[in-house]
Structure formats: structure tokens, C-alpha cells
Amino acid sequence: MDIICIDDHFTSEQIAEIPNRPIKDKLYSVRDVVKSANGIGLLLNEIENPHTGWTVRNGMKFTFEPNFNIRRFADLNHMPLSYEMVKDVVKIGA
């Protein structure tokens, strides 16, 4: 699924932690959809980042690739994305 970045504003903390970020008005394609602490996140085919984040599940520590909130993107008609629009494109990661 092709999408367009509509928000490329990041905090200085995010910039320090995420070396590769989407750029406003650039076209991307969805690689994966993940649940995050901030809602639904997207991983993009055109952007990869080192696994710098971590979370604890069932007493085990896992690292993960930073993802980008779905609100940062729109479809090719510039309509905001929703989970319903991307859920069938890729499988939601746990």
C-alpha cells in the first residue's frame, strides 16, 4: 500500500534516537503495522532503523525497530489513514 507522509516534525529526542525518518510529501509503502504505546505504528519499506527500542513482555526484554505513528501519513488522495485502511495490507504484529 502506497502512502504519503503528511507530518515529518519530530522532537529533538526522537531525532537523536531515530536516524532515518520519513519526509513530508514523500511517497512510501507499508512494510508492517504494529501496535505501540502510542497507537498504531507503521514500518516502511523505504526506511529501516536499528532496533534501539525495548519493551518487556511476560518478563522477557525485546528490542524493536522504531515505528511511525499512522497519523503521520495519508493515502494517495491525501485522506488520513486509519487502521481499517491498512489492516488487510499486512498482519498486525503482537
pTM across the whole model: 0.83
CA atoms within 13 A on the CB side of 68: 33
pLDDT at residue number 35 = 85
pLDDT tens, residue by residue, 45-63: 999 999 876 666 667 677 7
The structural domain count of the chain equals 1
Question: Count of CB atoms within 10 A of residue 44's CB?
Answer: 21
6: phi > 0 → left, psi -120 to 50 → alpha, else beta; which?
alpha
Determine the structural domain holding residue 11 and report its residue range.
Answer: 2-93
